Protein backbone atom coordinates (compact mmCIF):
# COMPACT_ATOMS: atom_id res chain seq x y z
CA UNK A 1 0.00 0.00 0.00
CA UNK A 2 1.20 3.47 -0.90
CA UNK A 3 2.15 5.63 2.13
CA UNK A 4 2.08 9.39 1.63
CA UNK A 5 3.75 11.77 4.07
CA UNK A 6 3.65 15.55 4.21
CA UNK A 7 6.12 17.59 6.20
CA UNK A 8 5.77 19.98 7.93
CA UNK A 9 2.30 19.49 9.37
CA UNK A 10 1.96 23.23 9.87
CA UNK A 11 3.77 26.25 8.50
CA UNK A 12 3.46 29.96 9.26
CA UNK A 13 5.12 32.57 7.04
CA UNK A 14 4.93 36.35 6.59
CA UNK A 15 3.19 37.66 3.50
CA UNK A 16 5.38 37.89 0.43
CA UNK A 17 7.62 34.95 1.23
CA UNK A 18 8.25 32.13 -1.18
CA UNK A 19 7.66 28.72 0.36
CA UNK A 20 7.92 25.01 -0.39
CA UNK A 21 5.62 22.25 0.78
CA UNK A 22 6.86 18.67 0.70
CA UNK A 23 5.20 15.38 -0.14
CA UNK A 24 6.89 11.97 -0.08
CA UNK A 25 5.56 8.58 -1.12
CA UNK A 26 6.86 5.07 -0.61
CA UNK A 27 6.16 3.41 -3.97
CA UNK A 28 7.66 5.14 -6.99
CA UNK A 29 5.40 3.25 -9.43
CA UNK A 30 2.82 6.00 -9.65
CA UNK A 31 0.44 7.06 -12.41
CA UNK A 32 0.08 10.68 -11.32
CA UNK A 33 0.19 12.97 -8.32
CA UNK A 34 -2.27 15.72 -7.47
CA UNK A 35 -2.01 18.72 -5.15
CA UNK A 36 -5.15 20.02 -3.47
CA UNK A 37 -6.10 22.94 -1.32
CA UNK A 38 -8.69 22.64 1.46
CA UNK A 39 -10.21 25.61 3.24
CA UNK A 40 -11.74 25.09 6.71
CA UNK A 41 -15.08 23.34 6.50
CA UNK A 42 -14.85 23.00 2.73
CA UNK A 43 -14.12 20.27 0.22
CA UNK A 44 -10.87 19.91 -1.69
CA UNK A 45 -9.94 22.08 -4.67
CA UNK A 46 -7.55 20.65 -7.23
CA UNK A 47 -4.49 22.82 -7.81
CA UNK A 48 -2.15 20.84 -10.04
CA UNK A 49 -1.96 17.36 -11.51
CA UNK A 50 1.40 15.92 -12.54
CA UNK A 51 1.51 12.82 -14.72
CA UNK A 52 4.25 10.28 -14.01
CA UNK A 53 6.02 11.25 -17.23
CA UNK A 54 6.21 14.91 -16.23
CA UNK A 55 8.72 16.67 -14.01
CA UNK A 56 6.70 19.73 -13.13
CA UNK A 57 3.49 21.69 -13.62
CA UNK A 58 2.87 25.39 -13.18
CA UNK A 59 -0.25 27.42 -12.55
CA UNK A 60 0.14 31.09 -11.73
CA UNK A 61 2.20 31.42 -8.55
CA UNK A 62 2.19 27.66 -8.00
CA UNK A 63 4.76 25.20 -9.27
CA UNK A 64 4.69 21.50 -8.49
CA UNK A 65 7.61 19.20 -9.17
CA UNK A 66 7.82 15.44 -9.22
CA UNK A 67 10.84 13.19 -8.66
CA UNK A 68 9.55 9.62 -8.92
CA UNK A 69 12.88 7.95 -8.28
CA UNK A 70 13.22 9.60 -4.88
CA UNK A 71 9.48 9.42 -4.12
CA UNK A 72 9.08 13.16 -3.69
CA UNK A 73 7.00 16.06 -4.86
CA UNK A 74 7.18 19.69 -3.87
CA UNK A 75 4.69 22.50 -4.18
CA UNK A 76 6.32 25.89 -4.53
CA UNK A 77 4.23 28.98 -3.77
CA UNK A 78 5.72 32.28 -4.85
CA UNK A 79 5.02 35.61 -3.18
CA UNK A 80 2.61 34.15 -0.64
CA UNK A 81 -0.60 36.03 0.21
CA UNK A 82 -2.97 35.79 3.19
CA UNK A 83 -5.51 34.22 0.84
CA UNK A 84 -3.15 31.29 0.40
CA UNK A 85 -3.84 30.26 4.01
CA UNK A 86 -5.35 26.77 3.86
CA UNK A 87 -4.41 23.12 4.21
CA UNK A 88 -2.53 21.69 1.25
CA UNK A 89 -2.81 17.97 0.53
CA UNK A 90 -1.05 15.78 -1.97
CA UNK A 91 -2.56 12.60 -3.36
CA UNK A 92 -0.82 9.83 -5.26
CA UNK A 93 -2.46 7.53 -7.78
CA UNK A 94 -0.60 4.21 -8.07
CA UNK A 95 0.35 2.67 -11.40
CA UNK A 96 -2.63 0.34 -11.22
CA UNK A 97 -6.16 1.19 -10.17
CA UNK A 98 -7.93 4.52 -9.88
CA UNK A 99 -7.57 5.01 -6.14
CA UNK A 100 -5.73 8.02 -4.74
CA UNK A 101 -3.74 7.89 -1.49
CA UNK A 102 -3.70 11.15 0.44
CA UNK A 103 -1.19 12.66 2.80
CA UNK A 104 -2.31 14.28 6.05
CA UNK A 105 -1.71 17.77 4.70
CA UNK A 106 0.28 20.88 5.59
CA UNK A 107 -1.64 23.67 7.27
CA UNK A 108 -0.33 26.97 5.90
CA UNK A 109 -0.87 30.35 7.54
CA UNK A 110 0.29 33.47 5.73
CA UNK A 111 0.56 36.40 8.13
CA UNK A 112 -0.31 39.84 6.72
CA UNK B 1 -20.69 23.90 -15.21
CA UNK B 2 -22.06 22.67 -11.89
CA UNK B 3 -19.58 21.05 -9.54
CA UNK B 4 -20.06 17.98 -7.39
CA UNK B 5 -23.17 18.41 -5.27
CA UNK B 6 -23.59 16.82 -1.86
CA UNK B 7 -26.43 16.90 0.61
CA UNK B 8 -27.00 17.42 3.40
CA UNK B 9 -24.09 19.66 4.38
CA UNK B 10 -24.48 18.89 8.05
CA UNK B 11 -26.17 16.07 9.93
CA UNK B 12 -26.50 15.42 13.65
CA UNK B 13 -27.95 12.12 14.78
CA UNK B 14 -28.13 9.93 17.85
CA UNK B 15 -26.03 6.78 17.85
CA UNK B 16 -27.75 3.68 16.47
CA UNK B 17 -29.82 5.83 14.09
CA UNK B 18 -29.53 5.45 10.31
CA UNK B 19 -28.20 8.22 8.08
CA UNK B 20 -27.83 8.69 4.33
CA UNK B 21 -25.70 11.01 2.24
CA UNK B 22 -26.31 11.92 -1.39
CA UNK B 23 -23.89 12.90 -4.11
CA UNK B 24 -24.40 14.10 -7.67
CA UNK B 25 -21.13 14.10 -9.62
CA UNK B 26 -20.11 16.36 -12.46
CA UNK B 27 -22.00 15.48 -15.62
CA UNK B 28 -20.13 12.96 -17.73
CA UNK B 29 -17.78 11.81 -14.97
CA UNK B 30 -17.86 8.04 -14.90
CA UNK B 31 -15.76 7.59 -11.75
CA UNK B 32 -17.27 8.45 -8.38
CA UNK B 33 -15.51 8.24 -5.02
CA UNK B 34 -16.73 8.35 -1.44
CA UNK B 35 -14.11 9.38 1.11
CA UNK B 36 -14.11 9.71 4.87
CA UNK B 37 -12.04 12.51 6.40
CA UNK B 38 -11.30 12.73 10.10
CA UNK B 39 -10.12 15.97 11.65
CA UNK B 40 -6.50 16.70 10.81
CA UNK B 41 -6.25 13.76 8.42
CA UNK B 42 -6.32 13.29 4.70
CA UNK B 43 -9.34 11.68 3.03
CA UNK B 44 -9.50 7.89 3.08
CA UNK B 45 -11.29 6.05 0.31
CA UNK B 46 -14.44 4.17 1.28
CA UNK B 47 -15.66 3.10 -2.15
CA UNK B 48 -15.04 3.86 -5.80
CA UNK B 49 -17.49 3.40 -8.67
CA UNK B 50 -16.76 3.07 -12.33
CA UNK B 51 -20.18 3.88 -13.78
CA UNK B 52 -22.60 1.80 -11.71
CA UNK B 53 -20.05 -0.82 -10.67
CA UNK B 54 -18.33 -0.69 -7.29
CA UNK B 55 -14.75 -1.57 -8.23
CA UNK B 56 -12.97 -0.82 -4.95
CA UNK B 57 -14.85 -1.15 -1.66
CA UNK B 58 -12.19 -2.84 0.44
CA UNK B 59 -12.22 -0.01 3.00
CA UNK B 60 -15.99 0.11 3.39
CA UNK B 61 -17.18 -1.36 6.73
CA UNK B 62 -19.81 -3.54 5.16
CA UNK B 63 -21.51 -4.50 8.39
CA UNK B 64 -22.96 -1.01 8.73
CA UNK B 65 -22.10 0.93 5.56
CA UNK B 66 -23.69 0.52 2.16
CA UNK B 67 -23.59 2.51 -1.05
CA UNK B 68 -25.31 2.48 -4.39
CA UNK B 69 -25.03 4.17 -7.75
CA UNK B 70 -27.92 2.58 -9.57
CA UNK B 71 -27.92 4.43 -12.89
CA UNK B 72 -24.23 5.32 -12.92
CA UNK B 73 -24.95 8.95 -12.08
CA UNK B 74 -25.78 10.02 -8.52
CA UNK B 75 -24.90 7.95 -5.50
CA UNK B 76 -26.07 7.38 -1.94
CA UNK B 77 -23.95 6.33 1.02
CA UNK B 78 -25.78 4.91 4.03
CA UNK B 79 -24.79 4.07 7.58
CA UNK B 80 -27.05 1.87 9.69
CA UNK B 81 -26.68 1.92 12.61
CA UNK B 82 -24.38 4.89 13.20
CA UNK B 83 -21.74 4.73 15.92
CA UNK B 84 -19.95 7.52 17.78
CA UNK B 85 -16.76 6.82 15.82
CA UNK B 86 -18.53 7.54 12.53
CA UNK B 87 -18.44 11.28 13.25
CA UNK B 88 -16.40 12.73 10.39
CA UNK B 89 -16.72 14.53 7.08
CA UNK B 90 -17.91 12.39 4.19
CA UNK B 91 -16.59 13.64 0.87
CA UNK B 92 -17.73 12.73 -2.61
CA UNK B 93 -15.52 13.25 -5.65
CA UNK B 94 -15.76 12.48 -9.35
CA UNK B 95 -13.36 12.25 -12.24
CA UNK B 96 -13.06 11.23 -15.86
CA UNK B 97 -11.07 8.01 -16.18
CA UNK B 98 -9.35 8.56 -12.84
CA UNK B 99 -7.60 11.81 -13.67
CA UNK B 100 -8.20 15.12 -11.90
CA UNK B 101 -10.61 14.60 -9.03
CA UNK B 102 -13.26 17.19 -8.28
CA UNK B 103 -14.63 17.22 -4.75
CA UNK B 104 -17.96 18.24 -3.32
CA UNK B 105 -18.22 20.35 -0.14
CA UNK B 106 -18.72 17.29 2.04
CA UNK B 107 -21.25 16.26 4.67
CA UNK B 108 -20.20 16.79 8.27
CA UNK B 109 -21.71 14.02 10.39
CA UNK B 110 -21.93 14.27 14.16
CA UNK B 111 -23.09 11.20 16.07
CA UNK B 112 -24.19 11.89 19.66
Contact A99 B56 (CB under 8 A): yes
Give the pLDDT score at B98: 62
How much is the pLDDT for A1?
Answer: 79
* CA closest to B57 among chain A residues: A99
Contacts of A97 in chain B (CB under 8 A): 56
Size of interface A-B (CB pairs under 8 A): 58
Categorize the per-residue pLDDT at A106 as very low, low, confident or very high, splitting at 50, 70 and 90: very high
Q: Is the C-alpha dihedral spanning B8, B4, B105, A33 positive or negative?
A: positive
Q: Which of A35, A30, A11, A47 is nearest to A103 (CA)?
A: A35
Sign of CA dihedral A33, A35, A7, A61: positive
What pLDDT, on the 0 to 100 scale, is given for residue B1? 63
Q: Say which of B42, B97, B99 has its CB closest to residue A89.
A: B42
pLDDT at B27 over 80: yes
Position B44 confidence tier, pLDDT thresholds 50, 70, 90: very high
pLDDT in tens, B51-62: 999 988 888 988
Choose from B101, B105, B106, B108 for mutation: most chain A CBs within 10 A.
B101
Q: Among B76-80, B95-99, B103-107, where is mean pLDDT lowest?
A: B95-99
Cβ contact A104–B42 (<8 Å): yes
pLDDT at res. B2 = 79
How do residues A28-85 score in pLDDT, each as one tens digit?
Answer: 899 999 999 999 888 899 999 999 999 999 999 999 999 999 999 999 999 999 999 9
Whether B98 and A45 lie within 8 Å, measured CB to CB: no
Q: Nearest CA to CA, how far is A4 from chain B (Å)?
A: 10
Question: Are A46 and B101 an interchain contact pair (Cβ–Cβ within 8 Å)?
Answer: yes
Pairing label, strands B107-111, B10-13: parallel
How many other C-beta atoms can be found within 10 angstroms of the C-beta atom of residue B66? 16
Amino acid sequence: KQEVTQIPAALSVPEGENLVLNCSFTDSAIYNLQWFRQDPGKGLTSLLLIQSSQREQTSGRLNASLDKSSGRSTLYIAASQPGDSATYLCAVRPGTGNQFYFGTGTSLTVIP
Amino acid sequence: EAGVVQSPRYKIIEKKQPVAFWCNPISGHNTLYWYLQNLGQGPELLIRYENEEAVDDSQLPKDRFSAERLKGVDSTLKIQPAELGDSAVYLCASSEQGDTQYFGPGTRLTVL
